[in-house]
Amino acid sequence: MAKAKRMLQENIKLVDAVAEIVDARAPEASRNPDFDALFSQKERIILLNKADLADENATRRFLDYYRRRGLLAAPMVSTGAAGKKQAVALMERAVSDKVKRLQEKGIKKTVRVMVVGIPNVGKSTFINRIAGENRTKTGDTPGVTRSKQWVKVGPYLELMDSPGLLWPKLEDQQKAQSLAFLGTVNDDILDGEELASALLQRLMTLCPEALMQRYKKLTLETAIEDLLPAVAQSRGFLLSGGELDTERAARIVLDEFRGGKIARVTLDQVPEEQA
Ligand SMILES: Nc1nc2c(ncn2[C@@H]2O[C@H](COP(=O)(O)OP(=O)(O)O)[C@@H](O)[C@H]2O)c(=O)[nH]1
Ligand SMILES: [Mg+2]
């Protein structure tokens, strides 16, 4: 992470604006809390990516929240058709003042945006989506490392071809758990059955109907320790001895949740604002 941080700090110098990609299913947990401080000198954009998997109302509430806090914010589906225009428009808006100032001085210069975010939020997918067919090298620029490439996304706008990696903050238990549910943090170190069981508990409060629809043996009366066994039962997952295969049930629950098959769910809540 030290190297990633150093690279990021080098790259910040090269851009005028920063677009932070977060996971719309957990915008706060997937934000880097240092973001505002790190990029205080830059125009800042926040894109709630994977909006196709998140609860639409929650996404709207989060967009309002970030906008109130002075960020340019938009939903994004990097794997889909929607969102590209709005994202480009937002990036153009972020740099429009600077472009205008330069033009007033008679300077014709492109302004630059860097994409940043924690692992797995869709940074590469986003860049590919935005770059699309424009993804031809815009040429080397003096003073810029040769490996760094820029993609033209508007008449005055270029996007850095490689994303900046931010590190997730895992001190907050609840946020760390949300990232584990989403598969953002390496879950080899986590106990799959414990994680899936905790996820089922969260989903029982967030979207009980959808959950019971998907796993028919679950009911509102199912005790916490019986959630995972009930999933195994719903799917007929049995071990050779006839015991319920809760390990397999855990994998299925996590996979189906991450794939958006259970429901469109947002795990985070908009933080309380001080009046
Ligand atoms: N459903 C959905 N999946 C996405 C979206 N954007 C990215 N992904 C998926 O998320 C995973 C991680 O994406 P990637 O671009 O590699 O993330 P990065 O680590 O931030 O560069 C991949 O499987 C993508 O296909 C999106 O808007 N919607
Ligand atoms: Mg990537």
pLDDT score at 221: 97
pLDDT at 35: 80
Query: Quick one: 7 and 123 in the same domain?
Result: yes
Residue 70 CB neighbours (<10 A): 9
CB 112 within 8 A of CB 150: yes
Q: Are residues 57 and 137 in the same domain?
A: yes
Residue 269 lies in a domain: no
CATH number at residue 195: 1.10.1580.10
Could you give the CA distance from residue 243 to residue 236 in angstroms, rounded to a whole number?
10
Residues 214, 159 share a domain: no
Same-domain check for residues 108 and 219 = no
- 111 and 220 fall within a common domain: no
122 within some domain: yes
Spatial distance between the Cα atoms of 273 and 47, rounded to a whole number of angstroms: 21
Please report which ligand is nearest the Cα atom of 79: 1
Residue identifier of the C-alpha nearest atom 24 of ligand 1: 122
* pLDDT tens, residue order, the chain (275 aa): 678 788 888 888 899 999 999 999 999 999 988 887 888 889 999 999 999 999 999 999 999 999 999 899 999 999 988 788 899 999 999 888 888 888 899 888 889 999 999 999 999 999 999 987 556 544 445 554 445 789 888 888 899 988 988 888 888 888 999 999 999 887 666 789 999 999 999 999 999 999 999 999 999 999 999 999 999 999 999 999 999 999 999 999 999 999 999 999 999 999 987 65
Is 181 contained in some domain?
no
Q: Mark whether 149 and 202 lie in a shared domain.
A: no
State the Cα angle at 64 between 203 and 11, rounded to 5°. Answer: 95
Q: For residue 83, give the ligand 1 atom closest to its CA.
A: 27
The answer to whether position 178 is within a domain reads no
Looking at residue 238, its pLDDT comes to: 97
Q: What local confidence, expressed as pLDDT, does residue 135 receive?
A: 60
Is residue 106 left, alpha or beta, with left meaning phi > 0 and alpha meaning psi from -120 to 50?
left
200 and 115 share one domain: no
CA distance 23 to 54: 9
Which pLDDT score, from 0 to 100, does residue 138 have? 46
How many A from CA of 192 to the centre of ligand 1?
A: 22
Ligand nearest to the CA of 82: 1
- Quote the number of domains for the chain: 2
Whether 237 and 123 map to the same domain: the answer is no
Confidence (pTM): 0.91
- 199 shares a domain with 158: no
Q: What residues are in contact with ligand 1 under a 6 Å CB criterion?
A: 49-50, 52-53, 77-79, 117, 119-125, 163
Q: How far apart are CA 249 and CA 252, in angstroms?
A: 5
Q: Are residues 158 and 195 in the same domain?
A: no
Residue ranges making up the domain that contains 104? 2-165
Residue with tokens 């049930």: 249
pLDDT of residue 78: 95
**For position 54, what pLDDT does the model report?**
97
**Mutation choice for ligand 1 from 78, 165, 256, 264, CB with most ligand atoms inside 8 A:** 78
Residue 73 φ/ψ, nearest 5 degrees: -130, 145
Which pLDDT score is estimated for 144? Answer: 46
CA gap 98, 126 in Å, rounded:
24
- Asked whether residue 142 is assigned to any structural domain, the reply reads yes
46 and 129 in one domain? yes
Q: What is the pLDDT of residue 269?
A: 93
pLDDT of residue 147: 58
Is residue 53 in some structural domain? yes
Q: Strand (E) positions, 50-198?
A: 72-75, 111-117, 150-154, 157-160, 164-165
Question: What CATH number does residue 32 fall under?
Answer: 3.40.50.300
Query: Is residue 35 a part of any domain in this protein?
Result: yes
199 part of a folded domain: yes
Residues 74 and 145 placed together within one structural domain of the fold: yes
